[in-house]
Structure 1
């Protein structure tokens, strides 16, 4: 079969379309061909911004001799882990079982039905550092397939059983609802609430010197930030203070470090060092979408702390660097920069780093020296900008004056490549971040950008006739995409609801409802011991699990743990809680318990793996708040929405009762006497209706958390 990667949504796959390797996408045809020829599948998994993926491609996959050998003895399959996280997760589990390590590029050898029997990561073109060459590995596996087939089949069976066993072990552990959480140092008012227990664990895990959690490599703890923000905003007094402190320290450490691009805005994927001083220079949409939301919310929580600047700079990066024609957002920027000879792996981070002499050339001797000192650039080779702390007012002024000149100088360098693949779920998170930041930072252009991205998702990714959401698209087409995962449906629905809260436009609410209805139909079924209407459901990350993944040991059950993005089940639970609050319909809450599962054990042992689920659990303890508008003019309603202010996306839902398709919280609320009428409600009970924005402001001021 010839190479079939031309025209794929993934830039990573398209980068390999001209290889001498006859790459196939991961589909039924590829495995059928392996079965017909009775040869193994060689599965190579990577992603466009992966440095060592580029290295192995240049060294091996562009080699005609390697290509000929692969084509003769294997069916080669190439997978973008961002496009197919289901495939990546299954075979990464196999790789870790076989080798006790993992990473990308991932290289796995499969039976024609999809079971892994051998695996590794990067293989060099020649033997080095105790590693065999890639050609040696290919020859050894091919020889074993011919002469020791039964042993390989047994190994494949053992790996598949182990993968299935891992999933079952995790489900058993998470089902341990009877786990007793020990008394914490919290006051009695917190008891053993999982969110409060998780906060204590996080405080113990915090790096007290450099901020964040853990050692090197150190990743932004994006998925746990919503929990800290929720506790800081709505926890009991002691809990709120501790959460606010931890949140503020974590955000300040990241934005004052080399993890943050101080010239162009936005965050890199992670730091190689514990002190955030040396980034790995990929820039991922999913990181920046989550961090935009976190910094914008923190800016509302602690005005004047400087978080708003980081949020604005991150939004600016998204709009300038990742926004595509049509309004959607690309997946990533590469870590590498192509050198003059076209070698893409020779310049990791070259676009972003500076020599001290360069800073003096661009800014002049005195200013350049001052900026180099401020940004931690010592004499020697190019280095990242690493102030190591949040700048004070005078330092910030120095940097603000220098930044435009450095931006102009950097723009003349070769820029990193961009993966223009549009991932539905990541764009949904970006819609959420932009919509909320637009309100919280007072920047309507961000809300408009969110609307344009959401419109693209609805026009390109949503197939209304089949009621299906595509996971990926490229150049305005989702033709080559698989159906979206649970996380895609949930994250896009959450983005649409964020837009509804930011704008009051009911079509976004109605589209979110439709996505949620499809999720219930496609991604869940009743628990074995329950009837069709039982609240307990069994959830899957995939609507249809491919046969090779089932053979490899995956069950298709939803993964309840956060990774670099929150678990799809947790996001869906958050969406259902939001719909419950908007619609005042208890039926929306029925699936939430099965989506969140038992959080006591995770709160105690690994809260960073369940940050979003714990945040949803904490939100359920808060009474829903609404401001419902009826009658009056468009200007009246706009003034009322402005009076609610940031609370419109943080704590209070502003609902226009006159809008077609308004949610259930507007039911029965009319314009009394034909006059503009405002209802301020909490926990499904309303205060006396008022008829002016001034009266609304008085009621908001008297209701505490509503404002």
Structure 2
């Protein structure tokens, strides 16, 4: 018999609908039940592609005796951390404070007033390796609630104060140290792995924001080393494209096989920028195969993008992706020459060994691909496509779709690929029609024709950045108008007028144990940093001081933390880098034919300190009637003698217009 999760849309919650645990979704009914029964909340948080979430479900949540104990002692609540990042963040803060580490599955025990008093991650069905069994945890927590409730409640006030975290921060009043960006880059350089690329030791995460910061600030060696290493490793799907979430080893060989949309969107842009900086064909190829994978495997029929592919298939992590030598030989038709090339190129017998099977990794160095490789890849893909595929989380999350729109739009403009631009347009149109409410506010998630849950700061801020990128790629005024409206809504609903910065949840969001502010840019940029970057760029297109003031309030709040923890605040440091740099505002107007060389000049190099506006005759609606759809940067700009002209400005003070690409490059420096 299904539990209360049967009516949910989240694939993760639906995975648990047949559990004998009386799971409830997070909401007022679950909270009321805990108060009425006078028992703690057991809040279990995970996501559909989480391997250890599946393991704990099989071991404990499907066990009738353990489920009966859970139902008797607690009100059990299942939370999809991707749909409810607000709830996840509160209890993740709690588990990290209590244990010094975090992760998923996250299992927290809280009072009926939502205050956590014990939390952990995975617990086995039987005690082992110093970990208590799940049954022991359940019984101990219930006994503590029965016998030591006064002590638990007394601690609640201190716990809530700690959970408020960033919401209690006030601006320091100190000016941004001009040398902090150099210091941050130096700290990232020192933390880089000079042997394997990337940062730190195993497990290794992609750290896209840190790579982008290094590229923007001119430190290319560490950034390119990381990009090359990941491109060659098992974390990069050498056959089908795209990246797994992280590698369990320092050399990027053995991935944790789940593929997340957000990682791939962020990495596609990092590889695109790496190619712009270096000109290396490998980096461009990886950017394209990542976006091609997203278009092929992650796009829904309405134009939105799915959230994730599971790590597991047939209950085994990575089974879809790994090969035995016998499977390789069979897939290649017994052709020993092709097998030898595959083993040499993909390192299938040495570098990629994983529990007796092989993960394909790319040959080291810059040797050209062997001519047989396309045929090898075609045959292996044909066999792999017949395997049982990993599970698909097909909900469309607004923020992750926004990251994908930005990647597709920028790549489409730089690489002149209309398919990328069309996909970006379609996804943006989907969000603005199917996920945006009549009042302009965004919903968090969409699935099966239903947009659900109020959007968070990251949904609004990521989409602001994405719409500006799509405008700069197409010069279509509808995207600029939507970005301006979204910026105003973000400020009104999420802005903190007292301390500065932005809250994670809107002013009218349901009341949780605390109203938090996102701070760190890990594993993806925080809503704070995205808002700061988007508003700074918008201010340079419009001249609107309020956008700049709001962005600077984020910087004022967080720059002391960012100075000491650059890896955790890399996207915020991008905003500081933009704020502190000489930014060129470029307006290009005129016929498409003569505008094209000017646009190629601007886009031909990585220019993180340029904003771009245009009225190019081929852009749909290039001359919009609605004034709010046209950046103020375009006011008074016109073609010269029938030829497209480029205006290079700094805070709306412009040089004489030019029509020659070489002259434009000289102005850009």
The normalised TM-score by structure 2 is 0.91
Partners of 2:413 and 2:7 in 1: CA distance? 38
Match of 1:663 among 631, 636, 644: 631
- Bigger drift between 79-88 and 223-232 goes to 223-232
Superposition RMSD in Å: 2.6
Partners of 1:83 and 1:58 in 2: CA distance? 23
Match of 2:441 among 468, 472, 482: 468
State the SS of the aligned residue for 1:495: helix
Aligned to 1:629: 589
**Is 1:312 aligned to 2:311, yes or no?**
no
Aligned to 1:542: 505
Partners of 2:63 and 2:9 in 1: CA distance? 25
Aligned to 1:382: 357
The offset of 1:59, in angstroms, is 1.9
Pairs within 5 Å for 1:135-154: 135-154=135-154
Partners of 1:521 and 1:73 in 2: CA distance? 43
State the SS of the aligned residue for 1:681: strand
Contact map agreement 1:374 1:387 (CA 8 A) in 2: yes
Q: 1:577 to 1:368 in 2, by over 3 A?
A: same
For these two proteins, the number of residue pairs brought into alignment is 651
Match of 1:699 among 650, 659, 663: 663
Match of 2:217 among 216, 231, 244: 231
Q: Deviations over 1:277-311 (max 9, x none)?
A: 21111111110000001111222222235210000
Match of 2:323 among 354, 371, 374: 354
Aligned to 2:172: 175
Q: Deviations over 1:53-79 (max 9, x none)?
A: 001112222223333332333211101
Contact map agreement 1:256 1:387 (CA 8 A) in 2: yes
State the SS of the aligned residue for 1:108: strand
Match of 1:414 among 379, 388, 403: 388
State the SS of the aligned residue for 2:188: helix
The offset of 1:144, in angstroms, is 3.1
State the SS of the aligned residue for 2:77: strand
Unpaired runs of 5+ residues, structure 2, are: 616-621
State the SS of the aligned residue for 2:122: coil
Partners of 1:79 and 1:311 in 2: CA distance? 33
Contact map agreement 1:197 1:603 (CA 8 A) in 2: no
Aligned to 1:400: 374
The offset of 1:594, in angstroms, is 1.0
Contact map agreement 1:253 1:390 (CA 8 A) in 2: no
Pairs within 5 Å for 1:130-529: 130-164=130-164, 167=166, 171=169, 175=172, 177=174, 192-232=178-218, 243-338=219-314, 344=315, 347-363=316-332, 364-378=335-349, 381-387=356-362, 389-393=364-368, 395-464=369-438, 466-478=439-451, 481-527=452-498
Q: Deviations over 1:420-461 (max 9, x none)?
A: 111111110100001111122221101111111111111111
Contact map agreement 2:601 2:665 (CA 8 A) in 1: no
Aligned to 1:591: 550
State the SS of the aligned residue for 2:420: helix
Partners of 2:576 and 2:428 in 1: CA distance? 27
**Is 1:103 aligned to 2:103, yes or no?**
yes
Partners of 2:186 and 2:37 in 1: CA distance? 57
Q: 1:636 to 1:78 in 2, by over 3 A?
A: same
Q: 1:476 to 1:549 in 2, by over 3 A?
A: same
Q: 1:2 to 1:39 in 2, by over 3 A?
A: farther
Q: 1:547 to 1:579 in 2, by over 3 A?
A: closer
Contact map agreement 1:425 1:487 (CA 8 A) in 2: yes
Q: 1:643 to 1:222 in 2, by over 3 A?
A: closer
Q: Deviations over 1:57-114 (max 9, x none)?
A: 1222222333333233321110111111221111122122333332211111111110
Partners of 1:145 and 1:400 in 2: CA distance? 62
Partners of 2:557 and 2:496 in 1: CA distance? 19
Partners of 1:263 and 1:500 in 2: CA distance? 33
State the SS of the aligned residue for 1:471: strand
Contact map agreement 2:4 2:24 (CA 8 A) in 1: yes
The offset of 1:360, in angstroms, is 2.3
Partners of 2:155 and 2:367 in 1: CA distance? 60
Contact map agreement 1:624 1:652 (CA 8 A) in 2: yes
Contact map agreement 1:90 1:549 (CA 8 A) in 2: no
The offset of 1:637, in angstroms, is 5.3
Aligned to 2:20: 20
Partners of 1:152 and 1:23 in 2: CA distance? 24
Q: 1:176 to 1:670 in 2, by over 3 A?
A: closer
Q: Deviations over 1:14-51 (max 9, x none)?
A: 11122222211111221112112211111000111111
Partners of 2:510 and 2:473 in 1: CA distance? 42
Q: 1:63 to 1:435 in 2, by over 3 A?
A: same
Q: Deviations over 1:616-665 (max 9, x none)?
A: 221221222313315x5x65656764565446986351411733331101
Q: 1:628 to 1:648 in 2, by over 3 A?
A: farther
Partners of 1:147 and 1:43 in 2: CA distance? 21
Contact map agreement 1:195 1:227 (CA 8 A) in 2: no
State the SS of the aligned residue for 2:78: strand
State the SS of the aligned residue for 2:358: coil
Aligned to 2:618: none
Aligned to 2:566: 607
Partners of 2:407 and 2:204 in 1: CA distance? 23
The normalised TM-score by structure 1 is 0.86
Q: 1:194 to 1:100 in 2, by over 3 A?
A: closer
State the SS of the aligned residue for 2:660: helix
The offset of 1:157, in angstroms, is 4.2
Partners of 1:162 and 1:388 in 2: CA distance? 48
Q: 1:160 to 1:300 in 2, by over 3 A?
A: same
Q: 1:194 to 1:401 in 2, by over 3 A?
A: farther
Moved over 6 A (4+): 545-548
Partners of 1:517 and 1:420 in 2: CA distance? 30
Contact map agreement 1:283 1:335 (CA 8 A) in 2: yes
The offset of 1:678, in angstroms, is 2.1
Contact map agreement 2:167 2:503 (CA 8 A) in 1: no
State the SS of the aligned residue for 1:541: coil
Contact map agreement 2:47 2:80 (CA 8 A) in 1: yes
Q: Deviations over 1:672-692 (max 9, x none)?
A: 68x4552422213444446xx
Partners of 1:178 and 1:596 in 2: CA distance? 10
Q: 1:585 to 1:117 in 2, by over 3 A?
A: closer
Partners of 2:645 and 2:206 in 1: CA distance? 42
Q: 1:176 to 1:370 in 2, by over 3 A?
A: farther
Partners of 2:548 and 2:584 in 1: CA distance? 13
Partners of 2:61 and 2:584 in 1: CA distance? 56
Contact map agreement 1:641 1:654 (CA 8 A) in 2: no
